[in-house]
Chain A
Amino acid sequence: MWVVGVGYKHEHRDPAGENAKADILGLGSYDVKNVKTLQTYVIDGDLESGDAERIGRELLADGVIQYFKFSHFSDDGSHAAFASASNAWIVEVFFRPGVMDPVGLSVASAISVLGVKSVRSVRTGTTYVIEGDLSESEVKAICEKCLANDLIQTYAYRRI
């Protein structure tokens, strides 16, 4: 399994991140300096790293304003380290198993159109990089009240 993350280049705005930051600040007085997002795609299939790079470059990222990174998917979330920041929390939000993921379906069929035929499925999610001085319980509250809907999504967080 591979994971590809797509974020906005430093010099470009990240509207989803700005939106998330505004929503978090709307919840209460949290010390949040910045929020960045990466659209995250977990690709289940026997890929070469060259395939993963091609999928990122030709399909998932808009090279003008976005960058992408990829790595092997790991359950402990260490792949998320490709989100560069310090003194930050990383939050990953994914759909629960069984929930329809139409974007994932479209990406899977597009990968096959690219000529990469070994992909079984694609799940999409969002990685948030939240910079700021936050306690674990605060991060948990932010996830529950704002970033993930427990009914259809799961979330995981860790500090970097």
Chain B
Amino acid sequence: MDARHIELLGKSDTELLEISRMFMLALNLEEMQKVQDYFKRHGRNPTDIELETFAQTWSEHCVHKTFRGNIEYNGQKINNLLKSYIIKATNDLRMPWCVHVFEDNAGIVEFNDKHNIAVKVETHNHPSALDPYGGAGTGSGGVFRDVMGVGAKPIMSTDILFFAPPDYPHDKLPKGVLHPKRLMKGVVAGIRDYGNRMGIPTANGGFGFHEGYVGNPLVYAGCLGIMPKEKYVRDAKPGDKIVLAGGRTGRDGIHGVTFASLELSTDSKKTSSGAVQIGNAIEEKRVLDGQLKARDVRDVPLYSAITDCGGGGLSSAIGEMGKKTGARVWLDKVPLKYDGLEPWEIWISEAQERMLLAVPEENVAEVLEIFREENTEANVIGEFTSDKKLTLMFNDKTIGELDMGFLHDGFPKAEKKAVLKISEKKDPDLQDQKDFGMDVKALLSSPTIASKEWVIRQYDHEVQAKTVIKPIQGLGGPGDACVLRPIYDEWKGVVVSNGYNPRFSGNPYNMALSAIDEAMRNNVCCGGRRIALLDNFSWGNPEKPDRLGALVEAVKACHDGSLAFCAPFISGKDSLYNEYSLGGAKDTISIPYTLVITAVGIIPDVRKAVTMDLKMAGNPVYMVGETKDEMDGSHYYMIKHVDGGTVPGVDLAKAKESMDSLVEAMDAGLVRACHDCSEGGLAVAAAEMCFAGGLGMRIDLDNVQQKCIVKNHKLLFSESNSRFLVEVAKGKEDEFENLMGSHVSRIGEVTQRNNLLVAGLNGRAIIDEDIDDLRKAWRKTFDW
């Protein structure tokens, strides 16, 4: 085994591109020229492993070229989208409880005086499209390792999934694409097996369905962990040994991204162990137990830094960890699954279940012994140096030597153009109806809204015994957020929720604000406050100016929403280039712009957390917030097969004030149940609260606080933001109204009767439905 030299000096531009293509480097001309310059300065040609190192370190996955590059947008120059907007909001807010944000594998915020929580959300879209089971499982495994990579113990997982509708016609399915129902079953099984086997509760999540995901399903895996404050270390020192713990290395995941972009042929008979992997949760559990022992066996961890091997494998993990010092790696010391791997393959393999530790020489024997006790392997594969160089060795021979500085900062900034395209759409102005009962049931049965009990019952959401507020509430209703109690002898809790509105893609700024508002809303529903946010973008091709323009708008909304809600972003991720072509068309279509916002709040006493099921007949029902004529992207228009109107916006000042007051009301014990009005609007929220509580509700639309609406269907089904339905304890009306001020309207009460009764603007009953029928409609879609 030896490294090959590749002729780069003196090559023309065309030849450079050809080299990039031949070795699947995915580097563009400018980047190849930079690399060529570097080696010209050093007066030699690169080895294969050196070229691969550049390809990995400069990949979109590792450096986020789009988010960190230059963008020209409507005559405005934006230098680094991430720093100019999202990180800027966090910096401006200066929240003292933000401990380490945007700098490590996961965002870290304070939990109490002794502990911090670490949170990360990732996407694993391409692998899941090819093999849903393995792709989703390794997605979970990867995000758990992100949290382990800051030294925290994973205590819950949240997964948000997007597919085409499960009844998508088989004959319309593009070639080489798996049917959404099969994808969904595989993805759910992958998440289930990884989380359940590792003993991490999957206690929260969400689904979105849209035809636009047919070629590109989206799988977001998130994880929350907890750690003692003083156990965070991230400082590899010269002389520290590089210890690789966990699974063995094989050809897994090599050039996975390139593979994913090829069209899949059905008669492909080759072994594709390269791009597609299946996770081994038991192995990761052993590594976790080993690393926690190494962390806790003394006052300070036995290691001086820790990280996971994810995208880019060893090359990214060691490159990143040794950025400030330098590192020497003995690739022949890496334990392999099978013989025959080239050194460069070992270096970039994305084999799962591996963690990397920097261990001071005097602790090495003890660390290796700890992992051995946990029945997993750990080996010294290199050391950190002080020469600021990355040196790669194989059998005592140097096969690569690069300057860390150039490797990490030498890449050329991407220059991209962006424009915004928003088309005005006329509202379809539907006729009024006498009865909306059928519509409510149709909405409850639509895939995004329908009960996910089939999924939830497969996930273990109780393991570790920390889950207080669970996904299914009351007699069976969809919870808004998950509440965990991470420390067994304290009542303080963590509240985790998500928000996403890909149907509002028509106005990307409002789409993003809506996602933030929804994530905040869901958190507040259970009593969450002091909220930190995570952003996760899945987008179309950013080389196309309209896609990039939409991205810029969404990022601006993140900045504005974050500042207004005083909710800093602490971590984020992006997956771009999610496009597909239908029926052999030349132009590709972007997925709906999908921004998932994850909100992590705290609650001082989990016993005061609120659920969404109605509690007692006779209690008044209030609505927080104002209903507006904002029907574009609504689920109601979707089931009516019409289109148009305005995408919901957010009145940020009002939203912040009303949410703060609502949390205060919860703390004062005034609120018995709370549910947010989102998909399906007021009518769906009311129906869900009824059948979850086994009680009826009477609502009068005349009393709903609203702006210029004269049609019943808009009051019932508009998805205006910042709205909640709240059941208030009888006798506490005055107190509640005083607290909430102009933000609430009293719209009805909880009844003993088994029905949802809504009086329309004309005073006549427009909905009178038995709650058992409503529950049936909600449950039938995923009765798999």
Contact = CB atoms under 8 A, between A and B. Distances in A.
A49 B224 CA distance: 48
Interface string B121-133: 0000000001101
B612 interface: no
A65 B185 CA distance: 25
A101 B278 contact: yes
A96 B273 contact: yes
A152 B268 contact: no
Interface string A137-160: 000000011100111100000000
B272 A152 contact: yes
A87 B634 CA distance: 51
B280 A150 contact: no
A151 B131 contact: yes
Contact of A98 (B179, B273, B280): B273
Contact of A96 (B250, B272, B281): B272
Given A28-B170, A102-B281, A151 B276 contact: yes
Q: How big is chain B's contact interface, by range?
A: 20 to 34
A26 B130 CA distance: 21
Contact of A150 (B252, B266, B279, B282): B266
A105 B179 contact: no
Contacts of A99: 134, 271, 273, 276-278
Contact of B271 (A98, A105, A106, A146): A98
B488 interface: no
B181 interface: yes
Contact of A22 (B131, B179, B784): B784
Interface residues of A, number: 23
A133 interface: no
Nearest to B132: A149
A149 B251 CA distance: 20
Interface in B173-197: 178-179, 181-182, 185-186
Contacts of A96: 271-273
B264 interface: yes
B181 A152 contact: no
Nearest to B166: A26
B179 A145 contact: yes
Interface in B248-274: 250-252, 264, 266, 268, 271-273
B278 A100 contact: yes
Interface string A4-37: 0000000000000001001100111000000000
Contact of A102 (B131, B179, B278, B784): B278
A50 interface: no
Contact of B272 (A106, A145, A151): A151
Nearest to A96: B271
Contacts of B784: 19, 22
Contacts of B272: 96, 151-152
Contact of B181 (A26, A106, A149): A26
A23 to B, nearest CB: 7
A131 to B, nearest CB: 22
B166 to A, nearest CB: 9
A97 B271 contact: yes
Interface in A83-135: 95-102, 105-106
B262 to A, nearest CB: 12
A102 B272 CA distance: 17
Contacts of A97: 271, 273
Nearest to B133: A149
Contacts of B182: 23, 145-146
Interface in A62-94: none
Contact of A100 (B178, B181, B266, B279): B279
B280 A152 contact: no
B276 A152 contact: yes
A26 B168 CA distance: 11
A152 B278 contact: yes
The dominant DSSP class at the B interface is loop
A19, A22, A23 — most chain B CB neighbours (10 Å): A23
Contacts of B268: 150-151
A106 B282 contact: yes
Nearest to B267: A150
Contacts of B282: 102, 105-106
B336 to A, nearest CB: 13
A46 to B, nearest CB: 22
A97 B170 CA distance: 30
Contact of A27 (B170, B281, B352): B170
Nearest to B275: A151
A96 B134 CA distance: 13
Interface in B278-307: 278-283
Nearest to B250: A98
B309 to A, nearest CB: 15
Contacts of A19: 784
B266 A144 contact: yes
Q: Max chain B CB contacts within 10 Å: which of A95, A96, A97, A149?
A: A149
Interface in B144-201: 170, 178-179, 181-182, 185-186
Contact of B280 (A102, A144, A146, A149): A102
A23 B166 CA distance: 12
Contacts of A145: 170, 179, 182
B131 A149 contact: yes
A144 B268 CA distance: 12
A146 B183 CA distance: 10
Contacts of B281: 102
Contacts of B280: 100, 102, 105
A99 to B, nearest CB: 5
Contacts of A28: 170
Contacts of B250: 98
Interface string B210-252: 0000000000000000000000000000000000000000111
B192 to A, nearest CB: 14
A96 B272 CA distance: 8
A49 B112 CA distance: 59
A22 B783 CA distance: 11
Given A22-B784, A96-B273, A100-B277, A151 B170 contact: no
A146 B784 CA distance: 15
Contact of A152 (B131, B170, B266, B352): B131
Interface string B700-744: 000000000000000000000000000000000000000000000
A112 to B, nearest CB: 12
Nearest to B138: A100
A102 B279 CA distance: 7
A100 B179 CA distance: 24
Contacts of B283: 102
A58 B357 CA distance: 39
A39 B370 CA distance: 35
Contacts of A152: 131, 134, 272, 276, 278
A74 to B, nearest CB: 22
Given A98-B250, A99-B277, A102-B283, 14 more contacts: A27-B170, A95-B278, A97-B273, A98-B251, A98-B273, A100-B252, A100-B277, A105-B280, A149-B131, A151-B264, A151-B272, A152-B134, A152-B276, A152-B278
Interface of A: 19, 22-23, 26-28, 95-102, 105-106, 144-146, 149-152
Interface of B: 130-131, 133-134, 170, 178-179, 181-182, 185-186, 250-252, 264, 266, 268, 271-273, 276-283, 352, 784
21 contacts: A23-B182, A28-B170, A96-B273, A98-B251, A99-B276, A100-B277, A102-B279, A102-B280, A102-B281, A102-B282, A102-B283, A105-B280, A105-B282, A106-B282, A149-B131, A149-B178, A151-B131, A151-B268, A151-B272, A152-B131, A152-B134
Which 8 residue pairs of A and B lie closest in terms of their CB atoms, listed nearest first? A98-B273, A102-B280, A100-B278, A98-B271, A152-B131, A96-B271, A152-B276, A151-B272
